[in-house]
Each structure stands twice: as C-alpha cells, then as structure tokens.
Amino acid sequence: MLQINPTDQIALVGLGYVGLPLAVEFGKHRPTIGFDIQPARIQQLTQGIDNTREVTAENLKNAQHLSFTDNPAELRDSKIFIVTVPTPVDKHKQPNLKPLLEASKAIGEVIQKGSIVIYESTVFPGATEEVCVPLVEQVSGLKFNKDFFAGYSPERINPGDKEHRINNIIKITSGSTPEAADAVDCLYQQIVTVGTHKASSIKVAEAAKVIENTQRDLNIALINELALLFDQLNIDTQEVLNAAGTKWNFLPFKPGLVGGHCISVDPYYLTYKAQEIGYHPQIILSGRRINDQMGQFVAESVIKLMTKRRIHVVGSKVLVLGLTFKENCPDLRNTRVIDIVRTLEHYNASVDVHDPCADIEAAYNEYQIELLPTLPANHYDAIILAVAHDEIVELGISEIRKLGKQEHVLYDVKSILPQSEVDARL
C-alpha cells in the first residue's frame, strides 16, 4: 500500500542543474535532503553557493527544510526518492547509463517498504521499469509494486532561463500503478502552480520527454541545412528567415551550434531504443549529422574569409568569444564551440578562448583550454562571436573590433551584431 504524507522526507539524488532547483522548491514545503557524490558541491551548497547559477543564496536560505549530504546512508529516512543524475552518451553516441545505475544501486541500499522512486533523468522508453527498477529490486530485496513503487516525471529545466522555472512549467507525471501515478501527480502539484499532465504509463512519459528535444534538434537541423545551402548561393540566411517569418505559421528557428546535455543528446537515446527493436531511424540521425558538422563549417568559413583577405591562416591568432553551450550559462557539457576551436587548431591557427561565464578550472579539465581572463587589443587576425553572453554583447561592435589587428575577420555565429558591421554570420 502506497501512502504519501506531507511530512514524508524527499531525497534528491543528483544536485546539478535539474536536481538543485527541485530540491529548493520541495525544501520550502517539506523535509528534503539533497545528495550528490561530489563533496565539494555539498560544501559549496552548505555555504549558500551554487556555481551553476540556477539558484541564488537567498533561494537556498528560503528552503528552510532542505539539507545536503554526500553520505548515501543519510537518505535512509526518506520515503520519496527523486533521481536527477545526468544521462550522457559515450564516444560512440550510445547511452551512458552509469550515473543512473549507480543512483539506483545507492537507493536500493537504503530504501524502505512503502517508498517510491521517481526518475527525472532523460532516458529511452522502458528504461525506468526495464533497467533501473530491477536494480533497486535486486539490491534492496524488496518486491516492485508491492514493497516499493516507481514513477517518472521528466525534467524540463532550461539552464540559464530565469523566466521558465519549475513552478511555472507544466509537469508530466506518471507511476507504475494507478495509485503510484496519483501519488506522484499530487506530489508535484505541491510545487508546480500551473498544473500537471498525468500520463497513462511511465513509458508514455519517458517517450514524451525524449521527443521534446528530438523535435527541436530536427527543426534546428533543417535551418542549419538551409544555412549551408544559402552559403553556397551567397544569400544571407538571417534575411531569408526574417522574410519567411512574416508568415503567421512560420516557425522561428535559427541556425546555430547544437550542444548541451539535452537537444544534442536525447535523440541518441531514442535511436538506441529504436535500433534495439530492429527499427532504423533515418530522419533523426540525419538531423544529428547536420547539426554535428556546424562547428567545423563555421571554422572553415572563417578560414575562407581570412584567405580572401590574404591573411595567413598558419600561425594566425584567432579569438573565440564564448565556450559554454548557451548564453548566460556556465554549463560546458557537450559544447560544440569546441569543434570550432579544434578545426582552427587543425589548420595550425593559434586560438584563444574568452568566456566570462565559464569556470576556468572546468574548461581546462574538460577541454584542456586555458580561458583568457583579459582581452588584448589589436591582437587577432580573426574574431568569432560564438556565444552571446550579455557581457560579450555589451562590449559592442566597436570594442570587439578593437581586439583585432588592422586587417582582421569578424564572424558572428549568433547573428547578434548588425549585419553591416560583421564580415559574415551564420
């Protein structure tokens, strides 16, 4: 029998971009304990510091029922477990379920009868009940849907977005039994003011999540392919999009680098499951191939512009402004700006990278890039505006141009600067 009470403690497993805001919201209403395997992360949060910039010190303070730990044994008193760990892909573009499996195992070691485990991490349809729950069952010795229950409520966090937050984004909910589904739905209604959508099954909820970002990936891939075509036709893509956008039902997607932990990853989870059952998707993987080549395209476009200006590429100095996967966000995971850097380095250019939002240590550990803290004037043969952080955009065209030598190239990946002021844009 599953019965969730307002005083039951929630354990949030994984305190990244998804888990921490969720822990804070629940911590305003009921006993909540946030768990993460990184002691440094726990220490920072205990001091009121969130290096992801998703939660302020004031918000942490307002979650008066929230505590933090890196000791899984301290989760034993919890009745509700919510898993918000990363679900990346490996170098072969296959799902890497290790964080999810480790979280499930840790929960299995502390879960008690009458508990419920809710997964928020993006997975392929079937993963919760076919992969995760059996591990909890095996480790705990408890019987699924008798001694403990499961739910799936996909995260919809958009890093860096201060407008769309947990409480004003409709939440999809689901459960392993009708009563579990009701319990999960009721739980999230406590913090989501705009309402919930209760799916008929966990698989439906899993599938809904994975196609949200797959759809965006494909729409961006279409526009990126058009950008590749229009480049050959010597037509400005942004002008075309502005003209087409005057029609009421034209979708306002833009070309760009598709990185991060969602849009560029989730489609591989769906295609993995499709191939497992013998279906070989074509459109989804085609879109991925197009989006994955855009960094190289930008770099080679800059090289062509330099060559036309008779600027020697070998030994040239190139500045890349921005490294994170999106603007005003410190998240470096799966950023495709790195493709620009590596392509330029392949042509023996010397590349500097400046990013006011990224963590210097994280950039070096992840990509062996030493971020440039200050910007020298009159120094670069080419400048690439790769990420439109406010601090970069606020420099203005004049200050950005001053960073270049008398003869230099300025390429605007984000199409933020006036068309007449840049040499090219995506």
Torsion sign (Cα): 89, 131, 287, 251: negative
Residue 6 backbone phi and psi in degrees, to 5 = -60, -20
Torsion sign (Cα): 209, 210, 215, 220: positive
How buried is 60 (Cβ within 10 angstroms: 0-12 exposed, 13-18 middle, 19+ buried)?
Answer: buried
What is the Cα–Cα distance from 210 to 156, expressed in whole angstroms?
A: 11
Cα 209 to Cα 147, 153, 172, 215, distances in angstroms: 28, 9, 9, 10
Pair of tokens at residue 260 = 């991060």
DSSP 40-76: HHHHHHHTT--TTSSS-HHHHHH-TTEEEES-GGGGT
Cα–Cα–Cα angle for 81, 83, 85, rounded to 5 degrees? 155
Residue count of the chain: 426
What is the residue type of 70?
Answer: D
End-to-end CA distance of the chain: 57
- Per the DSSP assignment, residues forming a β-bridge with 103 are none
Pair of tokens at residue 267 = 């489609």
Q: Which residue, among 385, 375, 388, 374, has the nearest Cα to 409 in the 3D structure?
A: 385
Annotated catalytic residue 262: yes
Contact indicator for 387, 327 with CB cutoff of 8 Å: yes
Pair of tokens at residue 53 = 């910039």
Using DSSP, state whether 415 is helix, strand or coil: coil
Torsion sign (Cα): 195, 201, 204, 206: positive
How buried is 146 (Cβ within 10 angstroms: 0-12 exposed, 13-18 middle, 19+ buried)?
Answer: exposed
In the set 132, 186, 262, 357, the catalytic residue is: 262
Q: Which residues are catalytic?
A: 262
